[in-house]
Structure formats: structure tokens, C-alpha cells
Structure 1
Amino acid sequence: MTQNEQDNRNYAKFAKIAMFEPSDSQECIDLTKEAYRVSETYDVPVMIRMTTRVCHSKSLVEEKDRQEVAPVLYQKQRDKMDAVPAISKRRRYVIEEQEEKLKGYAESCPFNEIEMNDTKIGIIAAGAAYLYAKEALGDKALYLKLGFTYPLPMEKFKTFSDNFDELYVIEELDPFMEEQIRHRKDTVMIGDIGCYALGGAAPLNAKDLAVCMGDSTFFHTGINSLTDVAYNSSNAICVILDNRITGMTGHQDNPGTGYNIKGEPATLIDVETVVKALGIKHVRTVNPLDLKAMKETLDWAFAMEDEPSVIITKWPCVLKKYSKEDKAQFNLDKTPCVVDVDKCIGCKKCLSTGCPALRYDSETKKSSIAQADCVGCTVCMQVCPVQAISRKGDK
């Protein structure tokens, strides 16, 4: 015996076994009956995950009529039951097919239900953890209560999470659901060695891998790479950061700026035109400082599961000496932003932008903006939940 807690849900994921999690005495009855039905319907073993709190609890239950079923007669099925290696490797295909069917069941399972409340806080929980959350938050949150937890209803998660400003996964011991949810919404982000290489650091954490190409990558070797993406119909979202200059390595002009290396007017190669010529059908150009437009564009790209897409973010580098074309095309207002300390609630949401102009006073628990460092991009204004940030001089 041991007093150490263990999370038995991992057995279900490891062995690809269907799993139910009751939260109270009534569900212990109801989910056990459903587990037998699922086992017979999908021809799979089913696990019922019990926890100490549920096992030690008592509550009234509603009895229902016993359902009589005919006994299942034994049949010799060596290709199913005798799990020697030669048979096991064939059965693996069957297990994967069964799991796909169970994923469909998870989406429609009556024990995976949404409890509606008028709130912008979403909770995903199962078993006893659901009752803990309900006791703590009551009707201050909207709940996705799960009774069937392997495989998880990923499409239901996506639909549920799209409605909230804040979403929490509440569970005991291991992050069993959280890891699977993150893995399904997460993306492998591969970046270059230009300015955006710094995006891998906190608080942005926006890059997993680096590839060594160099500034103005699209014109150096990116065109060749994008040709392969189009040719192979790769499931990739390629983001081309067009800051109208060769930024980190010296602010040289490039084929996309309209000027040659001597600063003389030259033929401008339009990035979007080239991308489409390579065979990419889905292309959008967006202002990266417009967070709403960026989110909508990313949602558009992620919705294309089987085809590549390209997003071109177009805005001049803040350190660039602007050309007459830049001034004509972009609204380059650099009026700095300021924080209204009376409105600021100290939530630090603005700090999540990674802007070096932002400051936070741990004593007053208020944010401020260093005026000499602010370039008036207004990103902090867009993320502030209480509209405590505005341009200097605005009311």
C-alpha cells in the first residue's frame, strides 16, 4: 500500500481506453450503466475513474428499472484475444479505428454538458473537481462539465472556449486535460534570426525553433521555401513580416522597398503578387498593430486545415527613416501613449505586449509609460481592459 496520490487518468491515455469520471453518487450509477453500453457498442474496455472524495461521499440517488440483457456466449477469437506480437501489431490498427469512433461519441455524449450563466469566465472540469469549482465560483462562471474524459471532446472545447475572455481548466494532480487541450490549440512556431528572433523570450514566448536565414529572408531564400510549401500543399501558415526595410543588419534597402542599394529608385517587387504567383491561393495583408484585424486574420488562416496560407504583416520598422512612400501609405503618428492612473487597475495586461516603454510600480500597483521610449503604436491601448491608456492629449 502507499499513501502517494496517483492520477489514474494517465492509464486511459496510455492504453487508449475509454474513460468516464463520475462526480457524485448519482453519476456513479448513471455512468456505470453508460460505460457498459459504450463497451458493448464500440467493442472496447471502459475505465471508470474514481477519486477519494467521490468514494467517501454520500448522496441520495434515483433508482431506475434494471435492464435485463442476454448473456454473452464465449467465442474463440484468437485474432482479438491472443495478444502475441504478430496479432498485437494488427490489433493496433483496430484500436486506432475504435478511438476515432469514440472521439465522435465524446462530442455528443450527454454527460459532457455546458452549464450556462451570464459571465465571461469559462471553466472546464470533470468529476470531483467540477464540484470544487462550482462550490467556489457558483454562477460566476460558465461550466463545461465532463463525464466522459477519454478521448476528450476537442471540438466541443473549441466551441466552448471561443466565447470567453478567460478560460480555466480545473483538475486534480496531473494536467491531464490541460496538456491535451494546449497540444490541440498549440502551434509549432518557427522563426528567423532577424528582429523577430527576440520574440521567443518572455512575455511573448512566440517562437519554438530558429532557422538561420537572415534579414529580408523572403527575398534571400524564402521564395524558394515557399515554392516547396505551395508545391507540397503543406499545412503551414507562413507569416512574412514586411517592415519595409532590412531591419536588424543595417537598414539596407531590398527588392521590396522600391530603392536599390545606392538609394536610387528601383523596380519594387510586391510581396503579395509574388506569393500568389508561387501558387499560394490564400493570402492576406494586414496591419500588425491592429490586434483585432490580426486575430481575425489568424483565425482565418487556422480554419484552413488542409491548405497553406500566407499572412503578410506590413508596417514600417519604427527605427526606419521613412521614405515619401511610407509617409503617403501609412499613418505614422508617433504621439506617445499615457496611463490614467485613476483608471489603471494594475492587471499587468499591458505588460504582456512586451513593450520596453511600459513600466510597473510594485508599490502603487500601477502601470506607466516612459514617454521617451513610446512610439505611439497603441497596442497597449488595445489590450487594456479598462481603457486606462490613451494617446497623449486625447480625452
Structure 2
Amino acid sequence: MKRLLSGNEAIALGAYHAGVSVAAAYPGTPSTEILENLARMGDVYVEWSTNEKVAMEVAMGASYGGVRAMASMKHVGLNVAADPFFAASVTGIRGGLVVVCCDDPGMHSSQNEQDNRHYARFAKVPMLEPSDSQEAYSLMEWAFNISEEFDTPVLFRSTTRISHCKTVAEVSESLQIKRKSPRFIRDPHKFVMVPSNARPRHPLMEERIRKMSSYVETFPFNEMVLEDRTLGIISAGAAYQYAREVFPKASLLKLVTTYPLPASLIREFASAVDRLVVVEELDPFIEEQLRAMGIEVVGKELVPITGELTPEILEQRAVEAGLLPAPSVVSSSKKTEQQLPVRPPLLCPGCPHAPISYTLKR
């Protein structure tokens, strides 16, 4: 069945169909609608937690109890949840554990635009990035399966445009959802990270990433399309959609597994094109890993390192770099700036900070 879904709606539905039993979150744009939508579906324990750290711990506890669990938050929320997030990487899981993190390039509703892809590399956990609502829905099942197969939390990264834009997604209409029964198995050597238990876990983490590096080489959502081989574009997430629009004739490699990267697939693509460009928002996360692999690539020389990327910005930079011819006619939409009325930021409805704000203002 086809449905028009925002990325957040698709993430919620995908988690529900994947058999999630516990979902905890702290509200914050652009992630809030994930838990709101899950709460309407029933048969799932859903909790607005005190903060993101508590949400992470609730999800970890459920996972240790053998059921599939999810914690969701905005990008800066993962700073708050970092302590248990890193601990979960060391302990591993029982039931699948997915951490959904929604970044905010351009700071539409945030105090910074930190690039949380670095958290995956820092914590040594796999990361998936959808580029539309279809992938946001479909990848949730894969995320839980990967988590259970490799005994690891999975970081599921979205951004504002993926979370809030609506695209058509093919979803399961009649689905027998199987949820695991909770069963806690006492195992202090796995779950109690005193130094004597933590030391033998570190080599297991390194081995896990090594196995994941082989696994992602054949991951079905990584997509290589070879067309005009004079230019090859590697991209992920929302930036991939912009690259498709601006470079319709170029060869494209879409990455969904952005950590660890499919090194052999990337080398194959790089060897098939004359010039290789990485199009990504914010930090040169993919670009730096490619350079470490010894691959010559153009990245932040072309794409800005700050602010939200748009097709217009990408096209302008590509023209300046000689990758595209200058347009002979400027469209009226580009010549005329829309003068929209200013809308000052407001606290979201139901925000727990609102009563404090109103009290202080009085």
C-alpha cells in the first residue's frame, strides 16, 4: 500500500512494523513526531522521558530484557544521552536497540548544527541514513536486524528535511507483527561495565566493526548508477536528492551505510569515473574517510561546510567550479526573493520548559 509520509511518520511506522516494544524519547524538533506517531499505534510502551539520557536508559533496559527498543531525540539530545549511548556500545544488546537521531543543518530550531555522524565512529556503532520516507520506513526493520545480528546499538540518522518532508512510501498493509516476550537473563560480565568486565568487551567491539565492514559491501540500499563517467558523485541522505537534481547525467553512488563505509564498493565506483565528488551536508565525514583510503576526491572545496545545503547552493557552487555550464536563463523563482512575514520562535505546544519560561517572564 502506498502512503504519503513524512520521514518521522515513516520511521515510527517502520519501527512499529519491525516489532518495537518500547520507545522512549525527549521532544525536540526535528524528532518530536516520531514518538507522537508511535503513541497512536498501540501495543507499544511509549514514554516521554525526563531527558534524552533517561530515554536512552529506558530503551537500553528494555533491550537488556530481550525486546526491541528505540530511543529518539534531536541531535543535541545525543550529547545528553552520550554516557549511556557509549555504554550500550560496550555492553551490546539482547533485543534490537535503535537510536534515532535527527540533525538540524541550518539550525532551524537548534542552538548548533553539530554533525552527529561522528558519534557512530566515536562509539564504534553502525549508522544508517535514509534519503527519503521509503528508506526511513524500510530501513527500520534492517536496523533492528543488524542490531541483533551484530550485538550492537544502531544509530539511525535523519535530518530536518528528511524528517519533515513527505514522500510516497510503499508500506506493508497486512502484516503479522511479532513482538518478543521480555525475558531478562542475568549476565553481569556482559552488562556490568566495571573495568574487569569492560576490558574483554573492547576487542569484541573492534571485531564487530570489522565484520560490519564486510557486511555493508552488499547492503541492498547502497546504490551505484553509472551514467556519464566523466563525473561521479558520492552522497547520502538529503544531499543525495540534491545531487540527483543538480547532476542528472552524472554517475551516482548513494550511501545508506555511512559508517562503516563499504570500502570496496567505493573503490569500484571511484575507479569507474574520471572525477570524484562527495556531496554531503556539514562536516566532511565521508570525504575524510575516502581521503584516508587514498582516494582522490573533491569535497568541501565545492560544498559549504556550514549551513543547510540546497539544490540552488549546490548548483551555484558547481557552476563556479566548472562542473556545470552557467545557466543561460535565470528562472523567475531564483530572481525573486519571497518576502515572508517573520515568525519568531516559540516554545512547542506541550513543551515542559514552557511553565518555567512563563513564570520567569512574569
What TM-score comes out, normalization by structure 1 length? Answer: 0.46
Compare relative contact order (CA 8 Å, sep 6+) and give the higher one, 1 or 2: 2
Question: Who wins on radius of gyration, i.e. which is larger?
Answer: 1
Answer 1 or 2: which has greater helix percent: 2
What TM-score comes out, normalization by structure 2 length? Answer: 0.50
